[in-house]
Amino acid sequence: MAKYHMRSCPLVLSLLSILFYSSIVLAAPVTTYNVVSLGAKADGGTDSTQAFISAWTKTCASANPAIIYVPAGRFDLGKVVFNGPCMNSAIGIHIDGTLVAPSDYSVLGNDGNWLLFEHVDGVTISGGILDGQGAGLWDCKSSGKSCPSGATTLEFTNSKNIVVSSLTSLNSQMFHIVVNGCQKVKMQGVTVAASGDSPNTDGIHVQLSSDVTILSSKIRTGDDCISIGPGATNLWIENVACGPGHGISIGSLGKDLQEVGVENVTVKTVTFTGTQNGVRIKTWGRPSNGFARNILFQHAIMVDVQNPILIDQNYCPGNEGCPGQVSGVKISDVTYQDIHGTSATEVAVKFDCSSENPCSGIRLEDVKLTYKNQAAQASCTYAAGTSSGAVQPSGCL
């Protein structure tokens, strides 16, 4: 149905209208804008940026629900800003094809993002492959030359009621997906894939946002599978496969003196395979009023993970801007429940908390982590809490 250009099909439109009106009271007709009808070429060579911008302009200006349809094929795109507010809050973007970023990283340069949704309310993106073509920038960064920071593939800023389903993001220059300053975002069936040694290619980053849900997704990349920044509240992550990558991380928090906290995060039913970390909370070792509280890590399987359970409050890269200082971030009420598997290092549970703001309310329940078929070790500094059920390694709390 999405393939019809309905404006040119009045018969289809009126038949559909009858259908809609008979089933849903007062449902508005849906207009579909096919990017190819607006000049996009699925040939992997022609720049289709203008056609996408014009599809968005029409969709956003439509008083009724509207759909952008991207058929199969490869569409080369430069930076596209999907700017709101729009005239309707039921916009669909149905993608059967692949959107391809410029392979020359100097084109996006320091722009920050490639596909940016800003000030939108009610956008559903389904299907599609986003190819960030980041390999050139990764090579530049690993050669030690001076390179641009690179672009996030897909970013939502100051938006709400967003759904992303069955989307694949490949080889981003920087972060693959960013949710920043948003409310009510649901991602389901997302796949992220980039090389395990690609720099700064976090899978999904969430900050300053509430009611974000990430379900049934597969993430393999060179940095955090999911990173959670300041101001993330009521975040639910369930049924995720992570690895390679750096795990699921709350932080780095506490870089700034004044910072909004992280609260109400659930990470449930996640498998970490060969990752640097499993579930991590990380804060800068410097003053801050930030916090992380009411966090639940539940039903996790660790397969050969270097730091399966980690709180690190002494993050200070390059020993710059923090030596001799301690973290001001308060970490409290963090539960680790039903976490099993293998550690790739001897210390499987490490709570390295702040001497000024010790971690409190840390709960370990039914944890079993082994190292080389033996019990692994636990290490705790300034951490208080309880253990219940079978906990191995034990002796920490």
Ligand X SMILES: *[C@@H]1O[C@H](CO)[C@@H](O)[C@H](O)[C@H]1NC(C)=O
Active site residues: 246
Give how far Cα 321 sits from Cα of 147, 250, 354, Å.
Answer: 23, 21, 17
Would you say 56 or 291 has its CB closer to ligand X? 291
Using the minimum distance from each CB to ligand X, give the nearer residue, 111 or 263.
Answer: 263
Measured from the CB of residue 233, what is the shortest distance to ligand X in angstroms? 4
Q: Any idea what the Cα angle at residue 26 is, between residues 20 and 28, rounded to 5°?
A: 65
> Does residue number 234 form part of the binding site for ligand X (CB under 6 A)?
yes
Find the shortest distance in angstroms from Cβ 264 to ligand X. Answer: 4
H/E stretch holding 123 reads: strand 121-131
Contact indicator for 327, 356 with CB cutoff of 8 Å: yes
Closest approach, Cβ 239 to ligand X, in A, equals: 22
**Which residues make Cβ contacts (< 8 Å) with residue 26, sequence separation at least 6?**
none
- Choose, by CB under 6 A, the member of 233, 252, 277, 288 that binds ligand X: 233
* Closest CB 334 distance from ligand X, rounded Å: 14
Give me the least distance between CB of 197 and ligand X, in Å please: 36
- Considering the complex, state which of residue 208 and residue 375 has its C-beta at the smaller distance from ligand X: 208
Nearest to 273 by CA among 248, 250, 245: 245
> Which is nearer to ligand X, 54 or 264 (by Cβ)?
264
Which tokens hold the place of 184? 């009510």
User: Can residue 325 be called a binding residue for ligand X (CB under 6 A)?
Assistant: no
Smaller CB separation from ligand X, 158 or 264: 264
Q: Is 213 in the site for ligand X (CB under 6 A)?
A: no
Identify which of residues 263 and 366 has a Cβ nearer to ligand X in the complex: 263
Residue in the structure block whose two tokens are 């009045």 = 10
Residue 33 identity: Y
Q: Could you tell me the smallest distance in angstroms from the CB atom of residue 217 to ligand X?
A: 23
Count of positions (residues) in the chain? 397
User: Do residues 226 and 204 lie in contact, with contact meaning Cβ atoms separated by under 8 Å?
Assistant: yes
Residue with tokens 């050139």: 136
Scan residues 252-271 and list those touching ligand X (CB under 6 A): 263-264
Measured CA to CA, the distance from residue 128 to residue 91 in angstroms comes to: 16
Q: How far apart are CA 82 and CA 119, in angstroms?
A: 9
Separation CA 194–CA 169 (nearest Å): 9
Where do contacts with ligand X occur on this chain (CB under 6 A)?
A: 233-234, 263-264, 294
